[in-house]
Amino acid sequence: MTHVFFEAEFEKFTFNFSSAEKTGFQTLIEDLAKAPQPEDALANGVLSPPKDDDKKIAIEAHELDLDFDHNFPRPDTPELAPANISPSPVRYPETLCTIIQICEIEGKGLGIVAAKDIPQGTFLLVETPIFVLLKSQTDAAIEATVDALSPENKEKFFSLSAYMSEEGESLKCRIMDCNAFSIMDETTSGVFETASRINHSCVPNSQYGWRDSIGRLVVWNRFKLLEGEEVTIDYGHRKNSLWSNYGFECTCGRCTDGESEDEK
């Protein structure tokens, strides 16, 4: 089975904060660090997101002034969590309907757009997965994991799109294939309620990475976003692979300006 969404490795940020901004950012990170963390345990090969007792933590998104290095080293491998897969995903900060929105994108289905003008380097989304599985797990394990989800999380999982390339394929496995992020030092795959809806561009305006210290996927914008502009990330596939894996052709500027396949 092909796992998608290669992890954007991230570190080596150059932070250009004033004293007040740095204090605010440090406060954010301290708050995130206090969130419940995965325990050092593994059962039946199924991993779970950290529990937050179904509480949604709402704060304003902190704006960061970042100089980005595209060759970030991979973060350390996190501890593994036990096989309790029912907690609801948590977004932190709670940005939906405040700075980003899920909406229909012409020719793409659902996607994420900026709800207002967003300065460069803003946290767009910080989210725990619906569930996490080791990449070595079989299709049968994926099926069993989805079957064991709570009704709420099962509804979220089946709301995600999937490209069925062959007759008789498992819908559950294809949703996993088409929506999973590589996380935890690329040893596991996680499916997310909101982040999995972000569409691809070969010249993305946003970037993402798994943060071991908080057990969450973080998405931030590399450039200023205008209200209504779609949030995009790079899936890490060459153009012809996008069609075979996801059933779409990339229509970003890079792919429509006549570049050869070797340049992509």
**199 phi, psi to nearest 5 deg:** -85, 165
pLDDT band for position 225 (cuts 50, 70, 90): very high
Whether residue 7 is contained in a domain is answered as no
Answer whether the bond into residue 93 is a cis peptide, omega within 30°: yes
User: What is the SS3 assignment for 41-74?
Assistant: CCECCEECCCCCCCCCCCCCCCECCEECCCCCCC
Whether residue 5 is contained in a domain is answered as no
Is 250's pLDDT higher than 90?
Answer: no
pLDDT: which is higher, 74 or 91: 91
Is 256's pLDDT higher than 90?
Answer: no
pLDDT number for residue 183: 85
Alpha-carbon distance 206 to 59, whole Å? 21
Q: Give the strand pairing for 232-233 and 199-200.
A: parallel
pLDDT number for residue 138: 84
Whether residue 3 is contained in a domain is answered as no
pLDDT band for position 102 (cuts 50, 70, 90): very high
Total domain count for the chain? Answer: 1
pLDDT: which is higher, 158 or 169: 158
Is 114's pLDDT higher than 90?
Answer: yes
**157 phi, psi to nearest 5 deg:** -60, -50
Its sign, for the CA torsion 14, 20, 24, 29, is positive
Is 205's pLDDT higher than 90?
Answer: yes
Is 87's pLDDT higher than 60?
Answer: no
Is 130's pLDDT higher than 80?
Answer: yes
DSSP 230: B
Q: Are 142 and 172 in contact (CB under 8 A)?
A: yes
Whether residue 155 is contained in a domain is answered as yes
Whether residue 1 is contained in a domain is answered as no
pLDDT number for residue 80: 36
pLDDT: which is higher, 240 or 118: 118
Is 176's pLDDT higher than 80?
Answer: yes
Whether residue 161 is contained in a domain is answered as yes
Whether residue 6 is contained in a domain is answered as no
Length of the chain: 264
- What Rg do the C-alpha atoms of the chain give, in angstroms? 18
Is 213's pLDDT higher than 70?
Answer: yes
Residue 189: closest CA among 199, 178, 200, 205? 178
How many degrees, rounded to 5, is the angle at CA 263 between CA 200 and CA 110? Answer: 10
Alpha-carbon distance 190 to 9, whole Å? 16
Per-chain mean pLDDT for the chain: 66
pLDDT number for residue 255: 60
pLDDT: which is higher, 3 or 149: 149
- Average pLDDT value for residue range 111-125: 93
* Domain span including residue 190: 14-263
pLDDT: which is higher, 111 or 80: 111
With a pLDDT cut of 90, the percent of the chain lying above it is 25
Is 239's pLDDT higher than 70?
Answer: no
pLDDT band for position 39 (cuts 50, 70, 90): very low
Whether residue 242 is contained in a domain is answered as yes
User: 257: which 2 tokens?
Assistant: 């300006």
The runs of H, that is alpha helices, within 80-228 are 139-147, 151-158, 171-179
Give me the CATH number covering residue 104.
Answer: 2.170.270.10
Is 264's pLDDT higher than 70?
Answer: no
Task: Count CB neighbours of 28 within 10 A.
Answer: 19
Assign 102 to helix, strand or coil.
strand
pLDDT band for position 200 (cuts 50, 70, 90): confident
Is 92's pLDDT higher than 50?
Answer: yes
Q: At what angle do helices 151-158 and 171-179 cross, to 10 degrees?
A: 70
pLDDT number for residue 238: 45
Q: Give the strand pairing for 109-114 and 100-105.
A: antiparallel
